[in-house]
Structure 1
Amino acid sequence: MGLAMDQPTPSLTTRAADRAPLAFAEFVALAASMMALTAFGIDSMLPALPAIGESLNVVRDNDRQYVITAFLVGFAFAQLIYGPLSDRFGRRPVLIVALLAYALTSVLAALSGSFALLLIARAAMGSSAAGARVVTVALVRDCFSGRAMAQVMSLAMIVFMAAPVIAPAFGWAILKVGSWRLIFWGIAAAGLMVLGWFSLRMPETLASQARQPLNIRRILGDYRLVLSDRNSVGYTLGSTAVSGALFGFIGSVPQIMDDVFHELDLLTLLFACVAGMMAIGSFLNSRFVMRFGMRLISHSALTLLTAIAALHLLIAWSGHENLWTFALLQALMMGCFGLVGANFSAMAMERMGAIAGTASSLQGFVGTLGGALIGAAIGQSFDGSTVPLYTGFVAMGLISLAIVAITERGRLFRPS
């Protein structure tokens, strides 16, 4: 069944565009903007972590990373709620509530008077952002499937990748003229703008006859379906491993730029390069996935990512790491990540069309919580060098490859 679904059909690209409830370009841009709120809520914080630590009397430098971890933990658990709600009440009302909550919790973070209250507000922000992630993926799955879904997700990722370019620059610019608290006011404004766009333009995509009852037995039954599907489990776990390494990078990079290279002011430029390469990877995937298929592209990219990480680890171990090797090799790895993420997500969701909201929420919960814990472990192991980070990248790359090989019964790199 899975192999047949992954076969290309001549009219797939045309059919995909015809099924979009808006003009195709606007649909992709809006989906990307909703997903980008998560990245904006994380990445705009990176230049501000030292200022937050100083302002709120955070003693250990590594503890500042909890500003990121708290967001991810809240994001992970809340996904379990949004999926069943969106399958019962539809995508539109659930997403409107989530976007409004995102803006309000950003205001709460701006007003926080202690580090503990800030972490609570960050967890609440993550919980709100989870709605945008879960419902957007379910919304895309309502309209597309298979390679077409991978293509749409790749196109969305190109727009989505603007957030890691803009967000750190936004945070850095705010810090030059005012307090880190103004960053949260800006995030709240961004959430309200996306809310207005969605409310005015996006119709409901879940047909009334397709809605599921909201009861524990049904939800547990849907979870059982998600956890009994080989692709769903395998590609969710494979994505979790590589996402954990990515979260480790996000948590560690301010300290690496400050303590290792003494170039914290270049953090924004570094993120632009990294995000730009990930966007290029997503663009290439959108161009070639319909021709070569999700498996061949993603398996090859994951193998290359792991090989580059191993090379980077050897350079770090040898003591020859510098800012140029760090930026170049990390950017190449993120280009590979752009070829992995959308394809893994599409393959995990391939047979989940009837329960897209619940499936997206459970897969998102596993991926985000697992990734956050792995990323926190990598980040907390920072020792003044890049060795712990790239040890984590190599380990997670190999684990992801092993999981995918088991999922595919050893048949990697096949076109379909």
Structure 2
Amino acid sequence: MNHSPENVSRLGRMGRAEFIAMIAMLMALNALAIDIMLPGLQQIGATLGVENENHRQYIVSAYLIGFGLAQLVYGPLADRFGRRIPLLAGLSIYIIAAIFGAFIPSFTALLVLRFIQGLGAASMRVVTVSIVRDIYGGRQMAEAMSLIMMVFMIVPVIAPGIGQTILLFADWHTIFVFMAVAGLGIAAWTHLRLPETLSPSDVRPFTIRSIATGFKIVLTDRIALNYTLASTFIFGALFGFINSAQQIYTQVYDLGKLMPIAFGSVALFMSFSSFVNARMVGRVGMRRLSHGALVAFLAINFVWLMIEILGPRPMPFPLFICLFAISMFMFGWIGANFNSLAMEPLGHVAGTASSVLGFLSTVGGASIGALIGQAFDGTALPLIAGFFVVSLIGFVFVMIAEKGKLFQPHNQRH
């Protein structure tokens, strides 16, 4: 596998800016399916007779479980049949599920449909990361992923507001119509403009033995596995917040319809973090940036937890949102770099690697996030405690990956 930037020739007529924007929008369809639902959880629960408020979080969890499980399939398919076919197939499932969502009759049926929608969306996680890895390696991949994340994070900024606006003029079923239309538009763009990026020399047979060999390569690589496990726990914090955001903002802090603004402001901070990372990673390196961010993430979450335990409850909202935003700024430096560090040694099995790593981080992260979300007790303490615990566990896995030596670039590309 050639890791040099010359691989951009595989993009044909597509320029770098369009490529970054397209990959970001493909990944953003996943964020849209999660964040646009948040303002509607209360209305959905009331309409479908869900009395336990914590059970409404299953609308997010069901989607994430389907999203995580299906990633095990898309990777081997993408390594055998190329990137375009599995990606477009997943987009089709996503769109069809969104269309049916506009007519859903019960909460159980909604959860099943959200699971199916997650199955389709998984292609947009696995295949897009594989495509980026086809084109870039090392710091170039980290820089590209940071720019992608910067554009991608626009969606969490605006999605809750879109959901809230839709609810002003229609009921929650219309949110699914919006997702279907957005999916159709991006699917058409992808079909018309995205070329096949898998090199013929990297095509792998779609056999049980080949898939098992690919999985073994991924799971026995110390750096890839431990960075993935670190990402899993740290993403668990993000999923925990997504699960309980509506309750924290509307019940603990009584923000009401201002919730999308609070949610979007933190996402905007994360987008700025990704932009800064993209500008710095080429000079500083993935390890120095992400390790420094991880240490800061751990320290900030510890301070945040101590203030929540020892200070008045609820913590004043300006202090809460400030500490949360700083924590998520560090998260922005961790996410793209850890993903690139995990994928770096696995370019020759990029599809399978993205599949396995995505499965572990999504299913694991969603499970951890569900535990944090279900622990909601009317205060922000379970969320903040969850942030600190997962950051501590993530730090341990990074120490294992690096044999106890942080901030040490392995070469000029890392």
TM-score, length-scaled by structure 1: 0.95
CA distance in 2, matches of 1:346, 1:396: 20
Report what 1:325 is aligned to.
Answer: 319
Retained in 1: the 8 A contact 2:7–2:134? no
Retained in 1: the 8 A contact 2:10–2:197? no
Do structure 1's residue 215 and structure 2's residue 219 form an aligned pair?
no
2:387 maps to a residue whose letter is: F
Report what 2:72 is aligned to.
Answer: 80
Report what 1:8 is aligned to.
Answer: none
Q: CA deviation at 1:414?
A: 2.3
Matching residue within 136, 140, 164 for 1:172: 164
CA distance in 2, matches of 1:64, 1:200: 38
Distance 1:16 1:154, change over 3 A: farther
2:391 maps to a residue whose letter is: G
Do structure 1's residue 289 and structure 2's residue 273 form an aligned pair?
no
Do structure 1's residue 57 and structure 2's residue 57 form an aligned pair?
no
CA distance in 2, matches of 1:182, 1:164: 19
CA distance in 2, matches of 1:17, 1:103: 30
2:168 maps to a residue whose letter is: K
Q: What secondary structure sits across from 1:69 in the alignment? A: helix
Retained in 2: the 8 A contact 1:28–1:156? yes
Q: What secondary structure sits across from 1:351 in the alignment? A: helix
2:196 maps to a residue whose letter is: E
Do structure 1's residue 271 and structure 2's residue 263 form an aligned pair?
yes
1:271 maps to a residue whose letter is: F
Retained in 1: the 8 A contact 2:8–2:135? no
Report what 2:385 is aligned to.
Answer: 391
CA deviation string 1:354-401 (max 9, x = no partner): 111111011000000000110000000001111100100000000000
Q: What secondary structure sits across from 1:383 in the alignment? A: coil
CA distance in 2, matches of 1:202, 1:19: 10
Report what 2:351 is aligned to.
Answer: 357
Do structure 1's residue 298 and structure 2's residue 290 form an aligned pair?
yes
Q: What does 1:397-416 correspond to in 2, within 5 Å?
A: 397-416=391-410
CA distance in 1, matches of 2:256, 2:206: 49
Q: What secondary structure sits across from 2:345 in the alignment? A: coil
Matching residue within 25, 41, 46 for 2:17: 25
Identity of aligned residues (%): 46
Do structure 1's residue 236 and structure 2's residue 239 form an aligned pair?
no
Matching residue within 113, 122, 131 for 2:105: 113
CA distance in 1, matches of 2:155, 2:16: 21
CA distance in 2, matches of 1:288, 1:16: 22
Retained in 1: the 8 A contact 2:99–2:180? yes
Q: CA deviation at 1:210?
A: 2.3
1:118 maps to a residue whose letter is: L
* Contiguous gaps of at least 5 residues in structure 1: 6-11
Matching residue within 331, 337, 347 for 2:331: 337
* Contiguous gaps of at least 5 residues in structure 2: none
Q: What secondary structure sits across from 2:407 in the alignment? A: coil
CA deviation string 1:70-98 (max 9, x = no partner): 00000010000100111111001111111
1:404 maps to a residue whose letter is: V
CA distance in 2, matches of 1:331, 1:18: 39
1:189 maps to a residue whose letter is: V
RMSD: 1.3
Retained in 1: the 8 A contact 2:202–2:349? no
Q: CA deviation at 1:17?
A: 6.0
Report what 1:369 is aligned to.
Answer: 363
Retained in 1: the 8 A contact 2:10–2:195? no
Q: CA deviation at 1:309?
A: 1.3
Matching residue within 120, 123, 128 for 1:128: 120
Q: Which moved more, 1:322-331 or 1:63-72?
A: 322-331
CA deviation string 1:1-25 (max 9, x = no partner): xxxx9xxxxxx7x757666542000
CA distance in 2, matches of 1:319, 1:415: 43
Distance 1:15 1:329, change over 3 A: farther
Distance 1:20 1:291, change over 3 A: farther
Retained in 1: the 8 A contact 2:11–2:195? no
2:330 maps to a residue whose letter is: C
Q: CA deviation at 1:112?
A: 1.0
Give the number of equivalent residue pairs: 405
CA deviation string 1:257-297 (max 9, x = no partner): 11111112121111221111111111111001011110110
Report what 1:9 is aligned to.
Answer: none
CA distance in 2, matches of 1:243, 1:251: 12
Q: Which moved more, 1:74-83 or 1:20-29?
A: 20-29
